[in-house]
A and B are shown apart, each in its own frame.
Chain A
């Protein structure tokens, strides 16, 4: 375990996450023929939220949202420290359960619908994330991120199906169209703000901060597929994120039924087929 990396993640992830969000908004604006906000706009936004008055709909909101942030940081920290990827995934899921509980803690119909949709999204992406961990284990024979990172061959050669499946759920996790059901990172009206409806001021700032941590963690997960060559890995991250922005700007929002179906079908076909072929190959030619 490299505790230094975990510390670096805790300190630097908000900066990287905020900058990525700023670049995202700038590129999105250019795609829509607008000038767009300054690059540092996400930092102004979160800074502003911490300057605002704190209105609590219910005191338990504080606990749930703080737990959400803490467990996102724990899962990201464990990941970058090279810890057990299964533990990382469990902590990551638990964090989102706290977000759902936070949304359920107020009597607001928008918040409730957001919480329900967030649960459906968790159900939609969870199998694929676990399949990714299993795939990485089958190739590297280890669940530890440090060992997966140290692999001297590109994981993407062995796990192309898993990678495509992971990109699918990445769109859900980055809260981008067509899967931004429970809440969206764009300005939207009522229902699409979903889980965040009842959070205001500093509490909402913590949600944004947690989202930045989360995005950096997810980019780290993609890095694993290309970890044998850092330069190619960073190039791949840039291409993947740009593709996500294009998808965000070209597709309209789909229903939760289609979200659930499509992500499970992709996880089933791409993920399980990839694992099956890998299993067969490992029986014929040892990796």
Chain B
């Protein structure tokens, strides 16, 4: 186990969720579940994050935002879709403005179903994502090269 999977910093984004799953995600940070035991930190900054924890089924307004957050995260990175809306669109799937699932916009590595997803299953999903993170790192090393030419966001002087 490298230090990568011992220190997963996550960013949490609400892609038009009803807030049910978001409250459960935040419950994971409370003293009862204390995910910092696993070195997990909830950062607000995609540039510091390794895991994108995302809830809701994405609508036309935040499709670009999700894409942007994903692009700003340095590799290796994993995406955990939390809740049934994030997995498939859930009960909102048929709505005219709902894209219906995170994997329609960005690649998803772990699906955590539930309405709302329980904190235990969210933690389980993130811990499973860590082994995928290790695999991605091994793949990245095989391809060689750590740098990314240019950045999708921000400017330079």
Considering only CB atoms, which chain A residue lies closest to B49 in the complex?
A200
Task: Please determine whether B7 and A52 come into contact, CB atoms closer than 8 angstroms.
Answer: no
Task: Please determine whether B154 and A106 come into contact, CB atoms closer than 8 angstroms.
Answer: yes
| Contacts A51-B137, A189-B44 given; does A44 touch B157 at CB 8 Å | no
| Contacts A35-B34, A53-B147, A56-B151 given; does A48 touch B76 at CB 8 Å | no
Among listed A26-34, A128-136, A261-269, interface-contacting one: A26-34
The verdict on B93 contacting chain A, using a C-beta distance below 8 Å, is: no
Among listed A149-157, A191-199, A247-255, interface-contacting one: A191-199
Task: Please determine whether B4 and A51 come into contact, CB atoms closer than 8 angstroms.
Answer: yes
Q: Which of A1-45 contact B (CB under 8 A)?
A: 25, 29, 32-38, 41, 43-45
A51 to B5 Cα, complex, angstroms: 11
Which of under 10, 10 to 19, 20 to 34, or 35 or more describes the interface residues of A? Answer: 35 or more
Q: Within 8 Å CB of B47, what residues of A?
A: 55, 197-200, 204
Among listed B15-23, B35-43, B82-90, interface-contacting one: B35-43
Contact with A along B37-74 (1 / 0, CB 8 A): 11101111101101000000000000000000000101
Indicate the member of A41, A52, A193, A197 with the most B CB atoms within 10 Å. Answer: A52
The verdict on A147 contacting chain B, using a C-beta distance below 8 Å, is: no
Task: Please determine whether B44 and A41 come into contact, CB atoms closer than 8 angstroms.
Answer: no
The verdict on A235 contacting chain B, using a C-beta distance below 8 Å, is: no
The verdict on A47 contacting chain B, using a C-beta distance below 8 Å, is: yes
Contact with A along B138-155 (1 / 0, CB 8 A): 001000001110010111
Task: Please determine whether A44 and B151 come into contact, CB atoms closer than 8 angstroms.
Answer: no
| Contacts A43-B3, A44-B6, A53-B148 given; does A35 touch B45 at CB 8 Å | no
Task: Please determine whether B34 and A34 come into contact, CB atoms closer than 8 angstroms.
Answer: yes
Q: Within 8 Å CB of A60, what residues of B?
A: 156-157
Task: Please determine whether A57 and B37 come into contact, CB atoms closer than 8 angstroms.
Answer: no
Q: Within 8 Å CB of B31, what residues of A?
A: 32-34
| Contacts A32-B31, A44-B3 given; does A58 touch B156 at CB 8 Å | yes
Task: Please determine whether B34 and A47 come into contact, CB atoms closer than 8 angstroms.
Answer: no
**Contact with B36, one of A29, A106, A189 (Cβ below 8 angstroms):** A29
A35 to B41 Cα, complex, angstroms: 14
| Contacts A58-B156, A193-B44, A198-B47 given; does A34 touch B36 at CB 8 Å | yes
Considering only CB atoms, which chain A residue lies closest to B141 in the complex?
A51
Q: Within 8 Å CB of B37, what residues of A?
A: 34-37
Q: Within 8 Å CB of A43, what residues of B?
A: 3
The verdict on A187 contacting chain B, using a C-beta distance below 8 Å, is: yes
Task: Please determine whether B155 and A107 come into contact, CB atoms closer than 8 angstroms.
Answer: yes
Task: Please determine whether B155 and A48 come into contact, CB atoms closer than 8 angstroms.
Answer: no
Nearest Cβ on chain B to A62's Cβ, whole angstroms: 11
The verdict on A66 contacting chain B, using a C-beta distance below 8 Å, is: no
Nearest Cβ on chain B to A28's Cβ, whole angstroms: 10
A94 to B37 Cα, complex, angstroms: 37
The verdict on A201 contacting chain B, using a C-beta distance below 8 Å, is: yes
Task: Please determine whether A187 and B50 come into contact, CB atoms closer than 8 angstroms.
Answer: no
Task: Please determine whether A52 and B154 come into contact, CB atoms closer than 8 angstroms.
Answer: no
A43 to B157 Cα, complex, angstroms: 33
A13 to B73 Cα, complex, angstroms: 30
The verdict on A286 contacting chain B, using a C-beta distance below 8 Å, is: no
Chain B residues engaging chain A, CB cutoff 8 angstroms: 2-4, 6-7, 9, 31, 34, 36-39, 41-45, 47-48, 50, 72, 74-76, 137, 140, 146-148, 151, 153-157
A/B interface sample: 26 pairs, CB < 8 A:
A33-B31, A36-B34, A37-B36, A38-B6, A41-B6, A45-B7, A47-B7, A52-B75, A52-B146, A53-B147, A54-B147, A55-B47, A55-B72, A56-B147, A57-B151, A57-B153, A57-B155, A58-B155, A58-B157, A187-B42, A187-B44, A193-B43, A199-B47, A201-B74, A202-B146, A204-B48
Besides A57-B154, A105-B156, 10 other A-B contacts (C-beta < 8 A): A32-B31, A34-B36, A35-B37, A45-B7, A53-B74, A54-B74, A55-B151, A58-B154, A187-B9, A193-B45
